[in-house]
Structure 1
């Protein structure tokens, strides 16, 4: 007897292993997956401009990185005692404009470098709703608490989402033709837009991604992972949400991660993941008596495990 509907997954081709180079961009859920990949010490760059919710924000980042453009004082503004950039998340905002500009331009450089060597680009789209700055007539990645009267709000059409995604793919492929794209739609619900509006938004994202996969010349290099569908269909219960009833909780994130591993992580990488997990848990351990012989022996054993693993994978740092 079955008590829930389950999604049937098939293992992906060109799976991720410890030789893979990953670029992870997008919404809150990209952060969740990025944190998991970082925990297991895969080689990755995760959201150098912070969380980016919609496809146009991601397109702008990739375009500027590939064109090797730079940010100047004209691209930032001062509000509420901090400097901000409309192209980046408020995590990058800073009381010092010099530090903000440095972080923005380092982010562009790191993005370009990672693009050129990436084997996989994972993009998680959160919403098709965007805000357009009236003064510049340009779509922003983040409003930074600027009064809403300064913006117009619009829902990107399926065609507009598709075009933006295709622009991103083309920009990346202009410097890396062999990269594999993994698209997913965030299971985080944007209910501030409204219940119906959230569903419209998600449907535009899903339709645009599948339109690309089914009809364009990008088909061989694009895949879709059903994180949104897992949350909506397999985990359709509020016990899998945080207290805000919007974000997936840790249990839900772990479940979706397990499915991602099943589909996208090479079986050859699993033993190394287990070793990394053992080390990570060991590093998080807090002893009752740090000076005890037993704990000192534990630390020496942990150090040996780290040294052994780093001989196999020199890029790993703990």
Structure 2
């Protein structure tokens, strides 16, 4: 008797390799997958504007990178003793305006370079709802805990999302003729919008994404949303807030991602990297024993062999830990 509805995830072609340059942007679920790619030593830049939930803010950020946009003091606002940008997540916010600007512009400059060189752009869409400032109609990527009365909320249409992403991609493809784009839709449920409203929002995102994927040869879709919502389909796989997938669910999605999206050579290399990372987490009862010294020496050799064979993989921290220097 089957208690879960599983489904095959189609392999990505072309697939992701360790030598690829990757840029990830989007919702908090992009952070989860992006952090795992970083941990496993892929060449990643993750969310240069911080977490972005709606597709129009993501498209706008990409246009800004391609423009080489630099932010000025006039682009920031002060709220609750911190400087913020309407285009950025609050992780860029801070009490010193010049520091906030420097961090924003340094991240944007790195994103400009990465986007023009990227082999893969991975975009995770979170919500079709956007917030607009009542005073001037400006769309904001993050409300920064400004009172709700300052905004009105709008549900985007699929056509609006398609137009924004389509315009961004036409320009990107002109400036970067090798980049592929992988779309995902976040399985995080935005119940603050309402359960019915969240489902409608996700449906609009899915409609827009599949329209675009069917239109361009260099666009792909990975079913992170379906893996959580239709395959796992159980609150045991959510955190206590019943909204965010828990570590087990994220690992399940990651396992499918590596199997479907990584090149077979990259899959084998990822396993070697994982073995070293697990050894790095080992905590010996007595680090002075000959057995532990042998353990360190064995893994120092593994790190040396791996980095000599694959010099594009950075493992300086692991080399120092195992005493390979």
Q: What do residues 163-214 of structure 1 show as CA deviations (whole Å, max 9, x unaligned)?
A: 1221231232231022111111000000000000000100110001112223
Report the equivalent of 1:94: 94
Which residue number corresponds to residue 271 of structure 1?
268
In 2, the alpha carbon distance for the partners of 1:134 and 1:310 equals 54
Map 1:136-155 → 2, pairs under 5 A:
136-155=136-155
- 1:42: how far off? 1.0
Structure 1 residue 6 displacement after superposition? 1.6
Q: Which runs of 5+ in 2 are unaligned?
A: 316-325
Deviates more, 1:224-233 or 1:192-201: 224-233
Out of 210, 220, 224, which is 1:223 matched to? 220
Q: Give the conservation status (yes or no) of the 8 Å contact 1:62–1:171.
A: no
1:231-260 deviations in Å (ceiling 9; x for gaps): 111111110111100000111111111111
| Paired residues for 1:119-268 under 5 Å | 119-214=119-214, 216=215, 219-268=216-265
Counterpart CA distance in 1 for 2:309 and 2:112 is 27
Q: Residue 287 of structure 2 corresponds to which residue in structure 1?
A: 290
Report the TM-score when normalising by structure 1. Answer: 0.95
In the alignment, is the contact (CA less than 8 A) between 2:259 and 2:267 conserved in 1? no
- SS of 1:230's partner is helix
Question: Match for residue 20 of structure 2?
Answer: 20
Residues 205 and 295 of structure 1, relative CA distance in 2, 3 Å threshold: same
Q: CA RMSD in A?
A: 1.3
Is residue 19–residue 312 contact of structure 2 (8 Å, CA) maintained in 1? Answer: no
How far, CA to CA, are the matches of 1:271 and 1:211 in structure 2?
Answer: 34
Contact 1:58/1:168 (<8 A) preserved: no
Does structure 2 retain, via aligned residues, the 8 Å contact 1:183–1:224?
A: yes
